[in-house]
């Protein structure tokens, strides 16, 4: 099975410090709104018939529109995802050969927890949920047991070793 391999190490943790042979291109960011699933006709047995999106594909499309990732999608991302919606529709119409391509395409958008980890995506809501104190919200060990109840043994040995 083909895969993308592990994510690269952060620049500060790489053992080799030589520069990248290909410089990075910085693009101007322009957020794009999600298009609607289009109405169109397809040819079937020589006749043009209206293409009907499966209900499951409509729900899938709305899920992407509502996803946290969507605020980072540009126009080319939405166009790629629109093409991916056609593959999703094929799968939900019974064409199981579309499953592999669908999996690869949605992985690029961070569809699963493993995809998001590979893409280094995190949910910011969890970072600030505790008020930024860095504490779990419960009492500390010092608060639970008091400063006078705990003591360390000399020499780092346990009581059983003495």
Give the tens place of pLDDT for each residue, 50-109: 889 999 999 999 999 999 999 999 999 999 999 999 999 999 999 999 999 999 999 999
Tokens 């504490």 sit on residue: 135
Closest CA to 93 of 65, 51, 63: 51
pLDDT of residue 56: 97
Separate counts of helices (H) and strands (E) for the chain: 6, 2
pLDDT of residue 15: 77
**pLDDT of 1 strictly over 90:** no
pLDDT of residue 23: 80
Decide: helix, strand or coil at residue 48.
strand
pLDDT of residue 151: 64
Q: For residue 76, what are the CA distances in angstroms to 32, 72, 81, 89, 121?
A: 9, 11, 9, 20, 20
pLDDT of residue 43: 83
pLDDT of residue 114: 92
Tokens 């957020």 sit on residue: 31
pLDDT, tens digit, 9 for 90 and up, residues 74-91: 999 999 999 999 999 999
- The larger pLDDT score, comparing residue 151 to residue 94, is at 94
pLDDT, tens digit, 9 for 90 and up, residues 111-129: 999 988 998 888 876 545 5
Provide the residue ranges of all domains of the chain, joining segments of one domain with +: 43-124
**pLDDT of 161 strictly over 70:** no
Per the prediction, the chain carries an average pLDDT of 82
pLDDT, tens digit, 9 for 90 and up, residues 4-51: 788 878 877 877 777 767 888 888 888 899 999 998 888 888 888 888
Closest CA to 75 of 123, 24, 27: 27
């Amino acid at each position: 099975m083909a895969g993308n391999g592990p994510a690269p190490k952060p620049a500060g943790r790489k053992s080799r410090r030589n520069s990248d042979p290909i410089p990075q291109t910085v693009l101007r960011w322009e957020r794009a709104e999600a298009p609607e699933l289009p109405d169109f006709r397809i040819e079937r047995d020589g006749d043009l018939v209206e293409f009907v999106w499966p209900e499951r594909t409509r729900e899938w499309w709305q899920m992407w529109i509502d996803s946290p990732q969507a605020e980072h999608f540009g126009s080319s991302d939405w166009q790629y995802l629109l093409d991916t919606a056609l593959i999703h529709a094929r799968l939900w119409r019974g064409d199981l050969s579309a499953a592999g391509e669908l999996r690869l395409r949605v992985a690029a958008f961070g569809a699963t927890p493993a995809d998001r980890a590979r893409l280094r995506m995190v949910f910011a809501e969890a970072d600030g949920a505790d008020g930024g104190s860095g504490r779990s919200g419960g009492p500390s060990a010092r608060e639970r047991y008091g400063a006078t109840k705990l003591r360390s043994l000399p020499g780092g040995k346990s009581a059983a070793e003495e």
